[in-house]
A and B are shown apart, each in its own frame.
Chain A
Amino acid sequence: MLLAVVVFNFILLSLVPGDIADTLAGESGGASEEVMADIRRTYGLDRPFHIQLATYVGKVVQGDLGMSYYFNMPVTELILGRIAPTLLLVVTALVLAILIGTLFGVIASRKPNGLFSHFVTVLALVGFAAPVFWTAFLLIVLFVAMLEIMPISGLVDPTTPRGTLTWYLDVLHHLFLPVLSLSSIYLAAYSRLARASMMDVLGSDFIRTARAKGLGETSITYKHALRNAIIPVITIAGLQFSHIFSGAVVVETVFTWPGLGTLAFESILRGDTPTIMGILFFSAMIVIAVNLLTDLAYRLVDPRIRSARNA
Chain B
Amino acid sequence: MDAPLLEVENLEVEFSTRQGVARVLDGIALSLEPGQTLGIVGESGCGKSMTALSIMRLVPVPPGRIGAGSVRLNGEDLLQVTEKRMREVRGKDISMIFQEPMTSLNPVYSIGDQIAETVRLHEGLGRRASLDRAVEMLKAVHIPAAERRVREFPHQMSGGMRQRVMIAMALACQPSVLIADEPTTALDVTVQAQVFDLLKELQEKTGTAIILISHDMGVIAEMADRVMVMYAGRIVEEASTDEILESPKHPYTQGLIACVPHLEEEPPLERATLTEIPGVVPALTELGSGCSYAPRCAYAADRCRRKAPEPLEVGEEHRVACWLYDEAGAA
Interface residues of A (CB under 8 A from B): 204-206, 208-216, 224, 227-228, 301-304, 307
CB pairs A–B below 8 angstroms (23 shown): A205-B103, A206-B107, A209-B104, A209-B106, A209-B169, A211-B58, A212-B58, A212-B90, A213-B90, A213-B91, A214-B88, A214-B91, A214-B92, A215-B91, A224-B109, A227-B109, A228-B107, A228-B108, A303-B153, A303-B155, A304-B107, A304-B153, A307-B153
Among candidates A215, A301, A302, residue contacting B87 with C-beta atoms closer than 8 Å: A215
Tally inter-chain residue pairs, CB-CB below 8 A.
Answer: 72
Contact of B110 with A303 in the complex, beta carbons under 8 Å: yes
Q: 1/0 per position for B296-318, CB-CB distance to A under 8 A?
A: 00000000000000000000000
Q: A215 vs B113: C-alpha distance in the bound complex, in angstroms?
A: 14
For the complex with contacts A206-B106, A209-B104, A214-B92, 14 further pairs of A-B residues with Cβ separation under 8 Å are A205-B104, A206-B103, A208-B58, A211-B58, A213-B169, A214-B89, A214-B90, A214-B121, A214-B122, A216-B87, A224-B109, A227-B108, A304-B153, A307-B155
Nearest neighbor of A113 in chain B, beta-carbon distance: B62
Quick check: A205 and B169 within 8 Å, CB to CB? no
Q: Which residues of B contact A214 (CB under 8 A)?
A: 87-92, 118, 121-122
Closest A residue to B94 by beta carbon equals A212
B100 and A205 form a contact (CB under 8 A): yes
Cα(A212)–Cα(B99), bound, Å: 14
Which of A204, A205, A301 is packed against the most chain B CB atoms within 10 Å? Answer: A205
Closest 3 pairs between A and B when the two form their complex, measured CB to CB: A214-B91, A214-B90, A213-B91
* A216 CB, min distance to chain B CBs, angstroms: 6
Residue in A closest to B117 when the chains form the complex, CB atoms: A213
- In angstroms, Cα B58 to Cα A211, docked, is 8
Cα separation A209 to B92 with both chains bound (whole Å)? 13
Please give, as numbers and ranges, the residues of chain B lying within 8 Å of A208 by CB-CB distance.
58, 98, 104
Question: CB distance A307 to B58 under 8 Å?
Answer: no
Shortest beta-carbon distance from A23 to chain B in Å: 56
Interface assignment of B131: CB less than 8 Å from any CB of chain A: no
Q: Within 8 Å of chain A (Cβ to Cβ): is B96? A: yes
- The 8 A CB mask of B117-151 against A (1 = contact, 0 = none) is 11001100000000000000000000000000000
Question: Could you say which residues of chain A place their CB within 8 Å of the CB of B217?
Answer: none
How far is B169's CA from A206's CA once the two chains are assembled, in angstroms?
13
Question: Please, which residues of chain B bring their CB within 8 A of the CB of A211?
Answer: 56, 58, 90
Q: Which residues from 62 to 115 on chain B have a C-beta closer than 8 Å to any C-beta of chain A?
A: 87-92, 95-96, 98, 100, 103-110
Q: When the two chains form their complex, are residues A303 and B121 in contact, meaning their CB atoms are under 8 A apart? A: no
Q: Which residues of A contact B106 (CB under 8 A)?
A: 206, 209-210, 224, 228
Instruction: State the Cβ distance, A123 to closest chain B Cβ, in Å.
Output: 26
Q: Which of B58, B104, B121 has the most CB of A within 10 A?
A: B104
Per-residue A-contact encoding for B190-217, CB less than 8 Å = 1, 0 else: 0000000000000000000000000000
